[in-house]
Structure 1
């Protein structure tokens, strides 16, 4: 099949390669699976196998796409760092210590504190807490934490 004189197979191969390139620069966006499937289907088209021309072609195309997707997901899982996702919630950090990253004030939540390697919006119980101040979380409200200086 051709589209304006260009083989659909080559279009699929180029689009699949672009998807893989985007995935390289944006890991986790997870367009590697459709990219790989596009490349495989494109190769089938270039080799003269019309994936959409018959029932057998559709069956082979679907089977190939599923196999390519499964292999891509397996490879993606193998090369992804084995890091556990953060399971810290704002309620579970009450009583934990941290450090002010951006000045914390009582009136608003523009301040930032780092607790357990995670940054949180914060406000102070009383007074201005400059960057670098050691703090402890006394409670949480909405999407921010309330901290006080460690004495």
Structure 2
């Protein structure tokens, strides 16, 4: 099989992998291989020219930059959600699973995160609570009047 067709098929396989597993970033080498394979099919003796390695290097650099720029616009990165223990004290949330004293079975939703919670009193689902203190990943809460 001709080298151009092999590169074209391998590049297409990389692009298919990217479709099935987005974020794997196989789109960059896949695009490069498809373009170089296509050029080798169109110009069969491309590898015999002394300037071919430079052409391949330029194609690789340009296509990499363009593909990465396009990929970033298509799927912009998201800031990771981080919450420190100190930032939870005083926050108000809603009980999503009944809170029973001396257990951590209760769950409280604060902003978009759900936390294990306990309290000195039983608090029913749907009630508002405020965080008194944090111990590890567990909250100690009190009912908001």
- Contact 2:93–2:128 (Cα < 8 Å) also in 1: yes
Matched, 1:126 2:116: no
Aligned partners of 2:67 and 2:24: how far apart in 1? 14
Q: Provide the residue aligned with 1:97 in structure 2.
A: 92
Matched, 1:139 2:145: no
Q: What is the TM-score normalised by the length of structure 1?
A: 0.67
* Structure 2: gaps spanning 5 or more residues: none
Task: Pick the structure with greater CA Rg.
Answer: 2
Tell me the matched-pair count: 142
Query: How much has 1:128 moved relative to structure 2?
Result: 4.1
Q: Distance in 2 between matches of 1:142 and 1:62?
A: 52
Matched ranges for 1:110-121 at <5 A: 110-116=105-111, 118-121=112-115
Q: Say what the alpha-carbon RMSD is for the aligned residues.
A: 3.4
- In the alignment, which of 50, 53, 56 is matched to residue 61 of structure 1? 56
Paired residue for 1:9? Answer: 7
CA contact (8 A) 1:97 1:134 kept: yes
Using the TM superposition, give the Cα deviation of residue 96 of structure 1 relative to its aligned residue in structure 2, in angstroms: 0.8
